[in-house]
């Protein structure tokens, strides 16, 4: 049987591609690829090495088969996903788990036996008449303690091209490791296509086998469901990190530039639409990564790397005024894929919030588009999808940090947690220590929904570390893992919480759009011991004099004492209500929630009540100095 599979593999690959597999000297790779060549039955197999000509082959084939089309700017292409296939499919993304394994009430799963049978049934002969592409990648920088090898099988050149931009190449790493390679595995098929897009999205499935380090994705093209090396690999890495004593986090990494040429590195975890990318891309600072980070204790210091090398970013509201560096990259020659935007006759892309006049007609994910076009339900079709995306390598950005590919990563000075909060947290605060920050900030993230995203504004959605959608281990263990990493070093990074969405009683925002840069600069000074702070029951906050100076230096504006008092007044009733909500969530939904979490929240509650007894419900920071 083994010989039969190998003979089939030789035939499907041809001599050149089969040699690429054999040269890796790893029977596990050969067995894995042979298994799915036999099962998916492609017409041919292309094996992607790290050679530039292999990368070009994938680009050319994506154009040739119509998955991408060229734009006017050199190197730019566009892709359309199907009308109902333009976001992560949360409902059909599930873990394949044995009956005796449970990850938690909020983590979706399916019985491993029946789920595996279902996905194998969907994959049977699914690549008939197509070419299978086999790609080798490295999660994290190459030749690094952070590196994880990964192998993806797909029948979509668009997916393979996206991965070439987003993920570091790994063929040579596989060759170097040989039989020692312990790799993540991904199998994807877009399935039957109709008009160039997936026909059977009712049979769209994304199933994750944690025991096998294997992810299946079928009947979908949207990159969030198909580019296995992003959030799907993240789920596998979270489990591996849990057993090996490090962390996989939904975090940006950036260099914040301080006085006298000093650069301090921060990571940040924010739910969607809470300012994550806009923080990471602040003008004058440098970016290491915008989405996923690995954190390790290396020689007694917490160091971090960007798992990827590119950005699969939401393009909505990217414009010259607000995101000048990204906007420049999206309008300059270089390798960029636009997805689900409007394309005009002149082969120019347009998207929501780009700061330009909307064309009267063009082509988008709905076909030929014109102003006022409506869908079957009578709803107006916007010229670009709300979740339209761009895919670009970080090296195309002028603010890419010099250490973006450092095998040893960057030493973290601080970690930032954020959320959309209209009435409770102050704009910026620092935790008393590592555990206090993890337990009362990271583990207590809530984000208010907006009418634009879910149809109902102001509903608070709990989102542990802004990572809850991707957890592959029980929540309690994940919290303990975070505490353990910081406690493993003598001087862990400082932890901060930010809130860009605090409002006054009249509903007006108390933060300006540029204020976040001031809060970031204050955090950098604080981690370096350059400024003092005021101690509140919930953490440390800036002194007015320091912020007044920073507002002048960073954004060139005056900062009034009145604005400071409104922003940093301690809102005790709201803070107490939040503590009760968070305690209730953990008591009712997280059976393995650690006792230290409840202890930290209860102690914070006592501190708040003591201050309320002395000063009342709303306390000016001046009274606590």
Catalytic positions, written as ranges:
274
Task: Tell me how far CA of residue 331 lies from CA of 225, 244, 260, 388, 390, in angstroms.
Answer: 27, 43, 34, 16, 12
**How far is the C-alpha of 331 from the C-alpha of 349, rounded, in Å?**
9
Burial class (CB in 10 A: 0-12, 13-18, 19+), 291: buried
Q: What is the residue whose two structure tokens read 């953990």? A: 586
**How far is the C-alpha of 457 from the C-alpha of 181, rounded, in Å?**
48
**How far is the C-alpha of 268 from the C-alpha of 251, rounded, in Å?**
5
Dihedral (CA of 357, 310, 223, 155) sign = positive
The C-alpha angle with vertex 104 and arms to 212 and 471, in degrees rounded to 5, equals 55
Q: In 247-392, which residue ranges form alpha helices assigned H by DSSP?
A: 276-280, 324-329
| Beta-strand runs (E) in 507-586 | 534-536, 539-541, 570-571
Burial class (CB in 10 A: 0-12, 13-18, 19+), 398: exposed
254's enclosing H/E stretch is strand 252-257
Query: What's the maximum distance between 2 C-alpha atoms anywhere in the chain?
Result: 81
Dihedral (CA of 331, 332, 333, 335) sign = negative
In three-state secondary structure terms, 450 is coil
**How far is the C-alpha of 82 from the C-alpha of 193, rounded, in Å?**
10
Cβ density class 251-267: b for 16+ within 10 Å, e for less: bbbbbbebeeeebbbbb
> Torsion angle of alpha carbons 218, 219, 225, 227, nearest 10°?
70
Nearest residue to 304 (alpha-carbon basis) of 264, 333, 348, 276? 264
| Beta-strand runs (E) in 121-204 | 131-139, 148-154, 168-169, 184-189, 193-194, 197-198
């Amino acid at each position: 049987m083994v010989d039969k599979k190998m003979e089939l593999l030789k035939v499907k690959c041809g001599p050149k591609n089969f040699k690429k597999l054999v040269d890796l000297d790893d029977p596990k790779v050969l067995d894995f690829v042979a298994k799915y060549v036999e099962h998916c039955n492609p017409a041919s197999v292309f094996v992607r090495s790290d050679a530039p000509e292999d990368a070009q082959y994938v680009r050319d084939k994506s154009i040739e088969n119509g998955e991408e089309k060229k734009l006017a700017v050199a190197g730019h292409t566009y892709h359309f996903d199907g009308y109902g296939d333009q976001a992560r499919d949360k409902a059909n993304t599930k873990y394949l788990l044995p009956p005796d394994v449970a990850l938690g009430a909020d983590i979706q799963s399916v019985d491993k036996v029946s789920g595996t049978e279902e996905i194998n049934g969907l994959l049977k002969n699914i690549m008939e008449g197509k070419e299978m592409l086999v790609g080798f990648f490295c999660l994290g920088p190459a030749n690094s303690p952070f590196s994880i090898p990964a192998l993806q099988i797909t029948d979509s050149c668009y997916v393979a091209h996206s991965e070439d931009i987003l993920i570091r190449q790994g063929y040579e790493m596989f060759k170097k490791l040989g039989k020692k390679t312990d790799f993540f595995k991904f199998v994807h098929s877009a399935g039957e296509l109709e008009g160039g897009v997936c026909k059977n999205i009712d049979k769209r499935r994304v199933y994750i086998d944690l025991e096998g380090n294997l992810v299946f994705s079928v009947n979908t093209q949207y990159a969030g469901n198909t580019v296995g090396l992003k959030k799907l690999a993240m789920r596998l890495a979270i489990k591996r990190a849990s057993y090996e004593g490090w962390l996989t986090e939904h975090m940006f990494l950036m260099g914040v530039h301080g006085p006298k040429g000093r650069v301090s590195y921060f990571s940040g975890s924010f739910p969607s639409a809470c300012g994550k990318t806009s923080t990471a891309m602040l003008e004058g600072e440098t970016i290491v990564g915008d989405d996923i980070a690995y954190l390790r204790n290396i020689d007694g210091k917490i160091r971090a790397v960007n798992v990827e090398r590119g950005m699969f970013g939401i393009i909505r509201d990217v414009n010259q005024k607000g995101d000048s560096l990204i906007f420049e990259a999206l309008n300059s020659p270089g390798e960029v894929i636009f997805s689900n935007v409007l394309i005009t006759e002149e082969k120019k892309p347009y998207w929501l919030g780009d700061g330009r006049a909307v064309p009267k007609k063009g082509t988008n994910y709905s076909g030929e588009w014109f102003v006022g076009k409506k869908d079957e339900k009578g709803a107006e079709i916007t010229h670009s999808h709300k979740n339209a995306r761009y895919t670009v390598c970080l090296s195309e950005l002028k603010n890419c940090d010099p250490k973006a590919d450092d095998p040893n990563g960057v030493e973290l000075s601080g970690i930032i947690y954020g959320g959309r909060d209209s009435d409770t947290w102050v704009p910026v605060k620092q935790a008393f220590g590592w555990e206090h920050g993890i337990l009362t900030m990271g583990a207590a993230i809530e984000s208010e929904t907006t009418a634009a995203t879910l149809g109902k504004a102001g509903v608070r959605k709990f989102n542990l570390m802004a990572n809850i959608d991707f957890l592959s281990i029980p929540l309690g263990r994940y919290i303990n893992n975070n505490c353990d990493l910081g406690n493993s070093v003598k001087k862990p990074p400082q932890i901060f919480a930010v809130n860009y969405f605090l409002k006054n009683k009249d509903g007006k925002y108390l933060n300006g759009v540029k204020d976040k840069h001031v809060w970031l600069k204050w955090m950098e000074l604080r981690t370096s011991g350059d400024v003092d702070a005021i101690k509140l029951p919930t953490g440390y906050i800036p002194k007015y004099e320091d912020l007044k100076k920073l507002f002048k230096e960073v954004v060139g504006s005056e900062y009034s004492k009145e604005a400071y008092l409104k922003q940093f007044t301690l809102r005790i009733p709201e803070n107490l209500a939040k503590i009760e909500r968070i305690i209730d969530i953990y008591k009712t939904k997280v059976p393995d929630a650690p006792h230290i979490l409840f202890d930290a929240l209860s102690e914070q509650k006592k501190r708040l009540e003591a201050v309320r007894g002395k000063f009342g419900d709303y306390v000016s920071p001046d009274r606590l100095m």
